Structure 1
Amino acid sequence: MTREQERAAARRRAVKVDAKRAQKEREAQRNRQVAVVVIAVLAVVAGFVFLTAKLNNDTTPAAAPKATTPSATTPAVAGCSAPPAPPSAAAKVAKPDKATAAGKTFTAVVTTNCGDITLQLDGAKAPQTVASFVGLAKANYFADSPCHRITTEGIFVLQCGDPLGGTGTGPGYTYGIENAPKDGTYPKGTLAMARTTDPNSNADQFFVVYKDSKLPTDGGGYSIFGTVTGGMDIVEKIAAAGVSGGATDGAPAAPISILKVAVTEKKA
């Protein structure tokens, strides 16, 4: 082999070595790019999973307020004992005939874990509402039911009547508004029915006004069916303890539950 041929062979070997080196470099670069893409995809997937979990957590409805028992964080309220556990279900009751209360006056003694609250019910002005309240009381519907709401700003009411603490669907019937003030004025001591935006959704929930309040008149207002004649100090001390968690509308920080309701008709 001549010198020229040896030099040519050497050049060919060098070219092959360079080609192999270049091929390996290209493969290494491609592997690095694939790794970057994989890492980026994993990061996106992880971010998506985290965001989905976060959104699902943020949009989960909060649990409805339930009756609580006094604890180290519950304000001590003089005269109150630990409330009972609420019922696991609410009874269904037939709708009472308003004629059973029309033109009549009743006294209702609401025994709570904080003492007795006495009500006078006006069947002359709100016969269907009073007939319903009396019927539910006689059916023992209110037994062990927590008063699930207190408001301490704007309007001032203690709301009770649902055995399931505001999460129930009522006694199985509803009825319309009676004796609602057109100006939305509800003086201290007023006993009235709670409802949804539907004016025909009156059922079991009622409220006691513990400080003069102006309530919305949209939809027809709220049925006044009686007054508090005794035990307002109980409602006031529950209100003074505030709302659980420090809000202005929600479950009472100092739990109060209805143990039983006894109703008698007042004779002329």
Structure 2
Amino acid sequence: MSNNETRRREAMQQLERELSARDRKEKSKPLAIVAASLAIILAIVGGIWFANSRTTDETVDAAASSTTASEDADTIAPVLDGKRTTPLPDTVTCAYNQNERPAKDVGLPPTENVSATGTVDITLDTSAGKIPLTLDRAAAPCTVNAITYLASKDYYDDVVCHRLTTSGIKVLQCGDPSGTGAGGPGFTFADEYPVDVVDDQLVTYPRGSVAMANAGPSTNGSQFFLNYGDSPLPPNYTYFGTIADEGLTTLDAIAAKGTADGQSDGAPAEEVKIANVEVAN
């Protein structure tokens, strides 16, 4: 049995124990609260993983996460908004660590005097339609710097979005030239908002937000996920921008077609390929 299957089985057993113990208490709550609690737990138990520049896929610790979800189930996971309590300096220094064979080699982004103010507009021109994004330097300057650098080097051209999820979390994951979910640019960099400001708890990556996929702490590379629905997750994924209405319309159409195998997590039923990424400013 694979590690993912073992984690999922253990998590489901833990979930059953927790739900049994909570059953009497749950029945006295408003139905909406019970449904929200269960949805949060199931979203984490589902074996959520985000692969980055590693040869194996990484999985959120489902058993531990289900316990956290149980503890937090009486409250709604706070919604991320990209706002820092204490702003960063106007410019920052970033570190990009070259450490693995790239799926597509385009070198390293610049590291000095990286802007931490304002936004950058980019558009993913995909086979399913355009997905305009606004990237937030104030929230995640080193992430925005890396993404725009990769786009300027045509790194994302002809790259498929290899993963769609339709239950629990609702995301389209893109950014791996190998199309496997295990490829990256050959460098990694540190986590930013909310990882560096939010305590370990469930948060909501809201519909219309963009965040980095990773294979563990500070393993960001080139993969990112587009939230076409609210996604409750631990605050382990760098939030770095928002999706325009036109992009959400495109994503809704992609999601409506489901996955290729009809499951809730897999390749999109109809291939979604990024032709190019336009950087406006």
Q: 1:99·1:127 contact (CA, 8 Å) conserved in 2?
A: no
**What amino acid maps onto 2:253 in structure 1?**
K
**Residue number among 215, 220, 230 corresponding to 2:233 in the alignment:** 215
How far residue 193 of structure 1 moved from its aligned partner, in angstroms, is 0.4
Instruction: Give unpaired runs (5+ residues) of structure 1.
Output: 1-88
Q: If the length of structure 2 is used for normalisation, what is the TM-score?
A: 0.59
The Cα offsets for residues 31-59 of structure 1, whole Å up to 9 and x where unpaired, read as xxxxxxxxxxxxxxxxxxxxxxxxxxxxx
The Cα offsets for residues 9-68 of structure 1, whole Å up to 9 and x where unpaired, read as xxxxxxxxxxxxxxxxxxxxxxxxxxxxxxxxxxxxxxxxxxxxxxxxxxxxxxxxxxxx
How far residue 103 of structure 1 moved from its aligned partner, in angstroms, is 1.2
2:155 alignment partner in structure 1: 141
1:121 alignment partner in structure 2: 135
How far residue 254 of structure 1 moved from its aligned partner, in angstroms, is 1.4
CA distance in structure 1 between the partners assigned to 2:217 and 2:159 by the alignment? 24
The Cα offsets for residues 175-200 of structure 1, whole Å up to 9 and x where unpaired, read as 1111127342111000110001x211
CA distance in structure 2 between the partners assigned to 1:209 and 1:133 by the alignment? 17
Q: 1:98·1:128 contact (CA, 8 Å) conserved in 2?
A: no
CA distance in structure 1 between the partners assigned to 2:249 and 2:257 by the alignment? 12
- Equivalenced residue count is 174
Q: Alpha carbon RMSD of aligned pairs, Å?
A: 1.8
Alignment of 1:1-268 (within 5 A): 90-97=104-111, 99-180=113-194, 182=198, 183-196=202-215, 198-217=216-235, 221-229=236-244, 230-265=246-281
- Between the aligned residues of both structures, percent identity stands at 43
CA distance in structure 2 between the partners assigned to 1:173 and 1:120 by the alignment? 24
CA distance in structure 1 between the partners assigned to 2:260 and 2:277 by the alignment? 26
Max radius of gyration: which structure? 1
Q: If the length of structure 1 is used for normalisation, what is the TM-score?
A: 0.61
CA distance in structure 2 between the partners assigned to 1:236 and 1:264 by the alignment? 24
**What amino acid maps onto 1:226 in structure 2?**
G
Instruction: Give unpaired runs (5+ residues) of structure 2.
Output: 1-102
Runs of 4+ in 1 over 6 A off after TM superposition: none
CA distance in structure 1 between the partners assigned to 2:161 and 2:168 by the alignment? 19
**What amino acid maps onto 1:117 in structure 2?**
I
